[in-house]
């Protein structure tokens, strides 16, 4: 049960309680998530946190303007991603129309982005036409991007300890987990036990021929089955999709913030309400 005065929505057999904050800044602690969670959570609840605020709080930002694109990065951007995936492989594999449209209009800055992926994660991830290695372009200021969090399982356990209740804390990424022949896998570099991770481009291609299971749990404070982890992660993702301020891709930035992607400031990001986490409770 829940007090009607507390903001919440019902999703099937679960109650979803959003935790709303300002923009969590680089190297800032997570008290704006942990304090309300400590107050609102009950034993048995789940706290699901998006990966980007965790990563930004760890200072895992990279300024892409400091990278000079190599010939490989230029080829991967223009020939491989924009044309081959935008006009041939994408339509052939029936990937999302939104993704195809975005690939066909890749900006010049994507070349530097590909160079970042190449240097930090290697060709296996750079070959992926979009959302490479879970790097987030949409919630960072200026020409910065955020990498995946460092050791999300450890972070989840530390947050649980600070909450001080018998709850389950999970950090998730919206990039997909797929299933084929009863086995789970993702292109992302990391995932919870039971999901084969770090498949990069090869996981992405295989995933187009497999069942998309939704968002990927990156780390969890408890040992949790993949099925339960995916269920809870997708309930959290359903709530995020309902928000008008959601910035799922870099192309949503101008619509939400009213400024170009390259000109976003911390002040711009702090001007809207963020929902970096939700509490999920069985009814």
The span from the CA of 24 to the CA of 275, in Å, is 10
Question: For position 261, what pLDDT does the model report?
Answer: 56
Mean pLDDT, each 10-residue run in order, the chain (283 residues) = 86 96 94 97 97 97 97 98 97 93 94 98 97 91 94 98 98 97 98 98 96 98 98 97 65 53 73 93 94
Question: For position 2, what pLDDT does the model report?
Answer: 81
Question: For position 140, what pLDDT does the model report?
Answer: 87
Question: For position 3, what pLDDT does the model report?
Answer: 81
Question: For position 257, what pLDDT does the model report?
Answer: 54
The span from the CA of 194 to the CA of 156, in Å, is 17
Question: For position 226, what pLDDT does the model report?
Answer: 98
Contacts of 97 by beta carbon, 8 Å cutoff, 6+ apart: none
Question: For position 263, what pLDDT does the model report?
Answer: 65
Q: Which residues pair with 61 in a beta bridge?
A: 146
Question: For position 265, what pLDDT does the model report?
Answer: 78
CATH no. for 9-57+153-282? 3.30.1330
Question: For position 271, what pLDDT does the model report?
Answer: 81
Sequence ranges of the domains in the chain: 9-57+153-282, 62-146
Which residue's structure tokens are 């296996």? Answer: 124
> Which whole-number Å values give the CA distances from 115 to 60, 66, 67, 123, 136, in the listed order?
17, 10, 7, 10, 15
């Amino acid at each position: 049960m829940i007090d009607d005065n507390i903001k919440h929505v019902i999703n099937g057999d679960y109650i979803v309680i959003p935790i709303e904050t300002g923009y969590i800044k680089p190297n800032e602690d997570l008290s704006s998530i942990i304090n309300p969670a400590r107050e609102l959570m009950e034993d048995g609840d789940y706290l699901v946190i998006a990966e980007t605020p965790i990563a930004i709080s760890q200072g895992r930002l990279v300024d892409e303007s400091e990278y000079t694109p190599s010939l490989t990065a230029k080829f991967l951007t223009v020939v491989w991603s924009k044309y081959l995936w935008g006009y041939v492989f994408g339509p052939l594999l029936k990937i999302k129309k939104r993704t195809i449209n975005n690939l066909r209009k890749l900006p010049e800055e994507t070349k530097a982005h590909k160079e970042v992926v190449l240097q930090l994660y290697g060709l296996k991830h750079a070959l992926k036409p979009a959302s490479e290695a879970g790097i987030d372009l949409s919630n960072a200021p200026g020409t910065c991007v955020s990498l995946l969090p460092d050791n999300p399982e450890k972070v989840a356990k530390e947050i649980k300890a600070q909450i001080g209740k018998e709850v389950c804390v999970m950090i998730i990424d919206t990039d997909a987990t797929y299933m084929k022949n009863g086995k789970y896998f993702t292109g992302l570099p990391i995932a919870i036990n039971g999901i084969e991770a770090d498949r990069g481009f090869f996981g992405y291609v295989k995933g187009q021929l497999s069942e998309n299971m939704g968002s990927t749990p990156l780390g969890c404070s408890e040992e949790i089955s993949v099925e339960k982890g995916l269920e809870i992660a997708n309930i959290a993702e359903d709530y995020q999709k309902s928000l008008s301020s959601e910035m799922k891709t870099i192309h949503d930035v101008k619509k939400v913030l009213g400024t170009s992607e390259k000109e976003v400031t911390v002040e711009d990001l702090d001007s809207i309400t963020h929902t970096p986490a939700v509490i999920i409770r069985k009814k």
